[in-house]
């Protein structure tokens, strides 16, 4: 498991007060929202809702039978001359890559964008052993130079302006300060082309693993993944095992949804199918082909039938773009590489609910994430479940004595009607009528503590009735009112 850093409250404040950052994030996510909305509109894609249901069902079926499909996938990869490697965590992935690099005398790795390798800090682990790995997706490359982690799962450098990029390039590459985006791209291209030519190993992620053909499917817009997977003599695809789908014929459902949900494109520019090393007569492709299947906590998530759906995620980023919380606090205030609503759902499951207990509460529960999720993950429901787990965890941590005392006292009072009535009359006397009849806006200072203080700082509370039901009943029977 990779590290997750708890966010300081001052970091949130800094983000909220940074007008340029707020504008950059709001504009970029707003643009992506608009493009998605147009791409899935009923007159453009009338079968959109049907596709979402199908995608959900396909993922459900595959993950409910993952053991079977993993074996099937391995069988096909092996038949094509590749090799499947199962890794429990990031250390095992790094060990495998380091061992292979050592055996083959490899010195340079090129990488295409992969959240899974970000998840396990693969670059840092390799750098620790003096093995250089260079990101080749433009956004990822900029972030690698700036020593930052992705801000967004689809658009990793979404928070940076072209002026920020110009400064990073000048500082790290020693080039003149260049603020024209096309020219910045050419600068990166010039550096990266050389790396592609020199690299011994290419490492990619995978958008989908197809069980019935053994194919690794990668979608991208820049073409760097194609070079990463075909130029070096060794290729390693690192994928979470949840990327599996059962059949090749299911792929169009996901391809139609992924591009549209992510960037509003009907299809991404390149869709690559990798199924083993170069075959006889082929002009390019690697000599060796490995698929590393990463667990890193996924089997733990699989065990929970309800929460298992968080593994259906195809990392389109739509829930981030539509989340009012993500749009304000941005990607770097989330403790792990996965940010936004899906980050708030999977991080506590991978790291434990006690690690960042505020995370499932970082949501307005407006439901936008569920509405736009192409695989229909019920994120609000999962957040509520996790909130309940956090509360139980905290109660357990405190030993639960306070709650137990309160409920024992409550049960005792409920068993003694006269005391219950007496306490009702006392409560009415304690809380006199305020400026809003029937409601409490404040309480006497000695009571304004703990949860009551928290509640009344934001909301009001119904005032205890001045006369109880029993008192009303008695006076009615006596003929009063
Ligand atoms: S949870 Fe759904 S909307 Fe969010 S990134 Fe994953 S697939 Fe996309």
Q: How confident is the model at residue 426 (pLDDT cuts 50, 70, 90)?
A: confident
Residue 388's pLDDT is 95
- pLDDT above 60 (res 2): no
Terminal CA-CA length for the chain: 68
- CA–centroid distance, 328 to ligand 1, in Å, is 18
Mean pLDDT across 278-287:
92
Q: Is the CB of 260 under 6 A from ligand 1?
A: no
Map residue 474 onto helix, strand or coil: helix
Mark whether 47 and 163 lie in a shared domain. Answer: yes
Look at residue 475 and tell me whether its pLDDT is greater than 70.
yes
41-69 mean pLDDT: 98
In a domain, 430, yes or no: yes
**Whether pLDDT at 418 is above 90:** no
From 279, 301, 323, the end of a domain falls on 301
pLDDT score at 7: 67
Which of the listed residues 36, 152, 240, 319 should we mutate to test ligand 1's pocket, taking the one with most ligand atoms within 8 A of CB? 319
342 lines ligand 1 (CB under 6 A): yes
Answer yes or no: is the C-beta of 32 below 6 A from any ligand 1 atom: no
* Residue 368 Cβ < 6 Å to ligand 1: no
Which of 301, 326, 361 finishes a domain? Answer: 301
pLDDT at site 242: 97
For the segment 250-264, the average pLDDT, to the nearest whole number, is 98
- Is a pLDDT exceeding 90 seen at residue 424? no
- CATH number for the domain spanning 23: value is 3.40.50.10420
Question: Does 166 fall in a domain?
Answer: yes
Query: Is the shortest distance between the CB of 297 and ligand 1 below 6 Å?
Result: no
- Give the Cα separation of 470 and 481 in Å (integer): 12
| Ligand 1 contacts CB of residue 36 (under 6 A) | no
In this predicted structure, the answer to whether residue 375 has a pLDDT above a threshold of 60 is yes
The predicted structure's pLDDT at residue 1: 54
Mean pLDDT of 402-421: 86
Nearest to 421 by CA among 373, 468, 458: 468
Nearest to 124, CA basis, from 144, 152, 104, 105: 144
Window from 211-220, 295-304, 382-391, 439-448 with minimum mean pLDDT = 439-448
CA–CA separation, 244 and 60 (whole Å):
11
pLDDT at residue number 477: 83
Q: Band the pLDDT of 3: cuts 50, 70, 90.
A: low
Nearest ligand 1 atom, CA 262: 8
Q: Are residue 103 and residue 250 in the same domain, yes or no?
A: yes
Write the CB contacts of 405 (distance below 8 Å, at least 6 apart in sequence): none
Same domain? 273 vs 408? no
Mutate to test the pocket of ligand 1, among 342, 374, 378 (most ligand atoms within 8 A of CB): 342
Least confident of 67-76, 187-196, 454-463: 454-463
Answer yes or no: is 367 within a domain. Answer: no
Average pLDDT over residues 204-215: 98
CA angle centred on 466, ends 462 and 468, rounded to 5°: 95
- Based on the structure, what is the number of domains in the chain? 2
**Cβ-based burial of 194 (10 A; exposed 0-12, middle 13-18, buried ≥19):** exposed
294 belongs to a structural domain: yes
Question: pLDDT (tens digit, 9 = 90+) per residue, 157-209?
Answer: 999 999 999 999 999 999 999 999 999 999 999 999 999 999 999 999 999 99
Q: How far is 388 from 338, CA to CA, in rounded Å?
A: 21
Tell me, yes or no, whether 336 lies in a domain. Answer: no
Higher pLDDT, 333 or 424: 333
- What pLDDT does 5 receive? 61
Lowest mean pLDDT across 29-38, 118-127, 354-363, 455-464: 455-464
Q: Which of 369, 368, 346, 372 is nearest to 359 (CA)?
A: 346
Q: What is the pLDDT of residue 63?
A: 98
Averaged pLDDT, 108-130: 96
- What mean pLDDT do residues 65-92 have? 98
Q: Are 315 and 254 a contacting pair, CB within 8 Å?
A: no
Q: How far is the CA of 281 from the centre of ligand 1 (A)?
A: 40
**What is the best residue among 256, 366, 373, 383 to mutate for testing ligand 1's pocket, by most ligand atoms within 8 Å of CB?**
373
pTM for the model: 0.84
The reply to whether 327 falls in a domain is no
Q: Which helix (H) or strand (E) holds 293?
A: strand 288-294
Q: What is the pLDDT of residue 400?
A: 67
> How many Å lie between the centroid of ligand 1 and the Cα of residue 319?
5
Cα–Cα distance, 206 to 272 (Å, whole number): 10
What is the full DSSP assignment across 407-460?
Answer: HHHHHHHHT-HHHHHHHHHHHHHHS---SSTTEES---GGG--HHHHHHHHH--
Please say if the pLDDT value at position 8 is more than 90.
no
Residues 420 and 282 in one domain: no
Q: Is 346 in the pocket of ligand 1 (CB under 6 A)?
A: no
In whole angstroms, how large is the CA radius of gyration of the chain?
28
For residues 410 and 293, state if they share a domain: no
Residues facing 108 on adjacent strands = 132
At residue 264, the pLDDT reads 98
What is the extent of the structural domain holding 464? 402-477
In a domain, residue 473? The reply is: yes
Confidence (pLDDT) at 449: 79
Mean pLDDT of 68-72: 98
Give the nearest ligand 1 atom to 310 CA: 1
Q: 313 CB contacts (<8 Å, ≥6 apart)?
A: 242, 342, 346, 375, 377
For 367, half-sphere exposure in the C-beta direction (CA atoms, 13 angstrom radius) is 1
pLDDT of residue 471 exceeding 90, the answer is: no
Domain boundary (249, 284, 301) is at 301
Hey, how many other C-beta atoms are within 10 angstroms of the C-beta on 187?
A: 16
Give the per-residue pLDDT at 201.
98
Which of these ranges, 148-157, 307-316, 396-405, has the smallest mean pLDDT?
A: 396-405
Residue 133: which H helix or E strand, with range? strand 132-135
| Mean pLDDT, the chain, whole residue set | 93
Instruction: Please tell me the predicted confidence (pLDDT) of residue 134.
Output: 98
- The verdict on 230 and 117 lying in the same domain is yes
Q: Does residue 131 sit within a domain?
A: yes
Residue 317, pLDDT > 90, answer: yes
């Amino acid at each position: 498991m990779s590290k997750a850093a708890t966010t300081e409250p001052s970091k949130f404040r800094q983000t909220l007060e940074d007008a340029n950052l707020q504008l950059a994030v709001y504009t970029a996510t707003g643009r992506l929202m608009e493009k998605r909305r147009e791409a899935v509109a009923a007159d453009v894609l009338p079968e959109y809702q049907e596709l979402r249901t199908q995608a959900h069902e396909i993922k459900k079926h595959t993950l409910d039978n993952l053991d079977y499909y993993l074996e099937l996938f391995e069988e096909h990869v092996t038949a094509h001359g590749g090799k499947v490697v199962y890794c429990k965590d990031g250390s095992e992935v790094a060990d495998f890559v380091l061992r292979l690099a050592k055996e083959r005398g490899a010195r340079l790795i090129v990488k295409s964008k992969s959240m899974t390798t970000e998840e396990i800090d693969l670059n840092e682990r390799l750098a620790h052993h003096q093995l250089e790995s260079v990101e080749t997706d433009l956004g990822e490359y900029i972030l690698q130079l700036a020593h930052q982690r992705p801000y967004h799962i689809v658009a990793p450098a979404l928070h940076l302006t072209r002026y920020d990029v110009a400064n990073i390039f000048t500082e790290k590459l020693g080039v003149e300060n260049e603020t024209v985006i096309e020219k910045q791209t050419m600068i990166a291209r010039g550096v990266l082309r050389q790396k592609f030519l020199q690299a011994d190993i290419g490492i990619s992620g995978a958008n989908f693993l197809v069980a019935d053909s053994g194919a690794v499917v990668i979608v991208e817009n820049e073409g760097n993944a194609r070079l990463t997977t075909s130029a070096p003599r060794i290729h390693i695809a690192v994928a979470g095992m949840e990327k599996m789908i059962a059949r090749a014929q299911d792929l169009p459902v996901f391809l139609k949804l992924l591009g549209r949900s992510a960037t509003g494109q009907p299809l991404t520019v390149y869709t690559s199918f990798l199924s083993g090393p170069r075959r006889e007569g082929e002009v390019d492709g690697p000599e060796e082909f490995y698929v590393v299947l990463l667990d890193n906590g996924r089997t733990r998530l699989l065990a929970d039938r309800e929460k298992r759906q968080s593994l259906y995620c195809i990392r389109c980023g739509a829930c981030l773009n539509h989340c009012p919380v993500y749009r304000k606090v941005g990607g770097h205030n989330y403790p792990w590489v996965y940010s936004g609503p899906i980050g708030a759902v999977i991080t506590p499951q991978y790291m434990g609910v006690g690690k960042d207990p505020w995370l499932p509460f970082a949501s307005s529960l407006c439901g936008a994430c569920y509405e736009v999720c192409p695989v229909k993950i019920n994120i609000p429901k999962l957040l509520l479940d996790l909130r309940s787990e956090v509360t139980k965890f905290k109660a357990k941590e405190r030993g639960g004595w306070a709650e137990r005392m309160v409920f024992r006292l409550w049960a005792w009072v409920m068993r003694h009607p006269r005391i219950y009535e007496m306490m009702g009359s006392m409560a009415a006397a304690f809380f006199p009528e305020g400026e809003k009849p029937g409601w409490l806006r404040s309480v006497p200072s000695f009571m304004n503590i703990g949860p009551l203080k928290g509640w009344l700082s934001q909301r009001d509370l119904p005032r205890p009735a001045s006369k109880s039901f029993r008192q009303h009943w008695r006076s009615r029977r006596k003929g009063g009112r």
